[in-house]
Amino acid sequence: MSENRACFHACQPPRLVRFGDGARRWAYARLALKSFGPSLSFRQARHPALDGARGLAVLAMVMGHTLDALLAPAFRDHPWVQEYWKLRGITAPLFLLVSGWAVVMALGTKPGAAKDSFGRRFRRALLLLFLGYLLHWPGWGAVRDLGFSDAMLSKVFQFDALQCIGASLMLGAMALVVTPNRGARALLLGGLAVGIPLASAGMWHAGEHLPVPLQQFIGNGEGSRFPFFPWAGFFFAGAFAAHGLHLLKPGLAQGFALLALGGALLALTRWMPIEWTPTSPTMVLYRVAQGLLVLGVVNLLPQRLSGMLAPLGRLSLWIYVLHLPVVYGWADIAGLAQRIGPRLGMAAALGVSVALLVGCYLIARFGRWMREQARPWRAGSTTLGASVGTARLGQ
């Protein structure tokens, strides 16, 4: 009788008197999850340095776009500004590098994780492609004026950073599914990381007579900003690095390994001439080395410091989507570049960039909060990873 009473009390949900309905629902959910046994648990699924690196790239991106649109020509010639333009070149490669790293890192050690997560990654890739093309929509007026011409197709299908990440994610998800063996996966990811930049010049030449959307994808189309060839090489370089360093613990171990790898690649570029052409594989090698060094430094930073940048990194997609129309306009709506133009001083332009960054972050944060209220069962899913069985979603 006492055993039955103990079992009855053990199965009752905890009484929450001083907390609201949200806390009570969360406690009930945790109790229900525990009833499934030890095979279902929660583990940290986010790399402590990836969000910090994304946050650093978001900061440089918003400031760079705003200064480029608003800074007066007299201030652009300043030596410090010229140095900043050089450093700003690492922003897009770092985004792609970190995206590839995150895809492989999130698989953990479960053999079938790539297959189980393929649908979610495919939908994410479609979302990135949709948002990328939406941001470059020229408006119905421009489409009517240009008619069904190559110029209209170039504007509508202009290939930019989000499209490149989306296409790379789609190919990467397929590559991970077809290579459950770790050795085969390393060969395929390494082959893509090296082969895409090396094949870029040939692909550009071969695509001269292809339809305009395919030319935009390949890169030889007019206005293609971040074409798949060679920019997808950054994505797969990050995926290959994550695959090779998965046994090292994030923090000091991975940080020093990334510094060593990035330093070795940077030293390699000293022995070969770097060509700053759109299809140059040496340019990709140089930027990959820089990106690995940045990621290594962020790994070595105290988590309290990198945590200051992490909130920006977690909302990087929506900050990107929000700030571009404000700076450059959308369709027939003018942005800051058209309304103000490049005539502000350094202090004013920096002030606008900081205000824009804070505003976009707050809007994105509010949007995430609204989504969590609409789907309370998914609240916290970006910071807590559910691992089934013995699988680990994060290292």
What values do phi and psi take at 43, rounded to 5?
-135, 155
CA neighbor of 240 nearest in space, from 116, 89, 103: 103
SS (H, E, C) 159-188: CCHHHHHHHHHHHHHHHHHHCCCHHHHHHH
**C-alpha pair distances (Å), 187 with each of 7, 118, 194:** 54, 20, 11
Consecutive H or E run containing 299:
helix 281-300
- Burial label for 210, CB within 10 Å (0-12, 13-18, 19+), is middle
What is the model's pLDDT at position 25? 55
pLDDT at residue 346, rounded to an integer: 92
Residues making up the chain, counted from first to last: 395
Rounded Cα distance, 220 and 278, in Å? 9
**Integer Cα distance of 134 and 199 in angstroms:** 29
Instruction: Assess contact for 94 and 289: CB atoms under 8 A.
Output: no
Q: What is the pLDDT along the chain (395 residues), one digit of tens a residue?
A: 444 444 444 444 444 444 445 555 555 555 544 444 433 333 344 666 888 999 999 999 999 999 999 999 989 888 888 888 888 889 999 999 999 999 998 887 677 899 999 999 999 999 999 999 999 999 999 999 999 999 999 999 999 999 999 999 999 999 999 999 999 999 999 999 999 999 999 999 999 889 999 999 999 988 899 999 999 999 999 999 999 998 888 888 999 999 999 999 999 998 888 899 999 999 999 999 999 999 999 999 888 888 899 999 999 999 999 999 999 999 989 999 999 989 999 999 999 999 999 999 999 999 999 988 887 655 444 333 333 333 333 33
Strand partners, 330: 333
pTM of the complete model: 0.83
